Homo-oligomer: A and B are copies of this chain.
Amino acid sequence: MKFKTIGIISPGDMGHVVGDVLRAGGLRVVACLDGRSPRTKALAQQAHLEDLGSVEAVVSEADAILSILVPAEAERAATAVATAMQQRGASLLYADCNAISPATTRLIGERIEAAGGRFVDASIIGPPPRRVGATRFYASGPHAGDLAALNDYGLHVIPIGERVGDASALKMCYAALTKGLTALSTELLVAAEALGITEPLQAEFRQSQSSMLAQMERGLPGMPPKARRWVGEMEEIASTFESVGLTPKILLGAADIYRFVGDTTLADRNPEDPGQPSLSDMIAQLAQHLR
């Protein structure tokens, strides 16, 4: 399978870097920025993506579309693409790369296939792929192999099987660890601050949990700008776990924590903004926001 034109819906924090990589790799990369935020437009411009305005225009021009969005927008985007495909009689490869449950993914897949598209369940593990090898695109479903053609243009796509849902399931279980632990760590540090025992807890962590403490100091302060979009991801993981008979509560609690953080001004920063707070500043601000 050969690609010439890739559509990116939407070129946000992750999407614009993916677009930039594919463009630098030699592909034409297009987007539909009508109605998107000034920030998304600025990111798309920064990555030199071509704005075709509407979803319909992207569907007409693209060989493949990568959907890279917050979870809550995944279904609406797929529906818009499916509608445009039916209107135009176009067919293309549609890879849903979002952090959504296998069940939501299968629903989206059915909608795309019913409109004549070829669906790939994809998921992204790692940061925006500014560095080669840092980020993996897992892909599953009958057309997963087709998406692997993007390996010739700078992405790292790993097909993991024929079953739609598997790439999403992989992302759900992986993010449960990383973002679940981030939520848990945030909660216990805020609780310690509110209870007035930060100092002895830090001393104990330095002694018996030094690598976990280092991980918190490195990872937590960068979280607040992403907290709002992680709420939906935690809820998708919760429903994934519930679907196999496990408790959804741990991940619903993680969603609560990201909602709480998202409700503070710490979440108003963008990831690229300077002036990231220290861990202790961040925790002190969150503790002040309680009640």
Contacts and interface: CB of A to CB of B under 8 A. Distances in A.
Interface of A: 102, 125-126, 136, 138, 158, 160, 163, 165-166, 169-170, 172-174, 176-178, 180-181, 183-185, 187-192, 194-197, 200-201, 204-205, 208-209, 211-212, 240-241, 244-254, 256-257, 260, 290-291
Nearest to A252: B249
A208 to B, nearest CB: 7
Number of copies: 2
Given A170-B197, A256-B249, A188 B176 contact: yes
Contacts of A257: 246-247, 250
Contact of A253 (B126, B204, B244, B247): B247
Given A102-B195, A169-B192, A177-B212, A187 B290 contact: no
8 contacts: A158-B200, A170-B192, A173-B188, A181-B184, A211-B211, A246-B260, A247-B257, A253-B253
A136 B260 CA distance: 33
Contacts of A160: 197, 200
A256 B136 CA distance: 32
A248 B257 CA distance: 10
A151 to B, nearest CB: 17
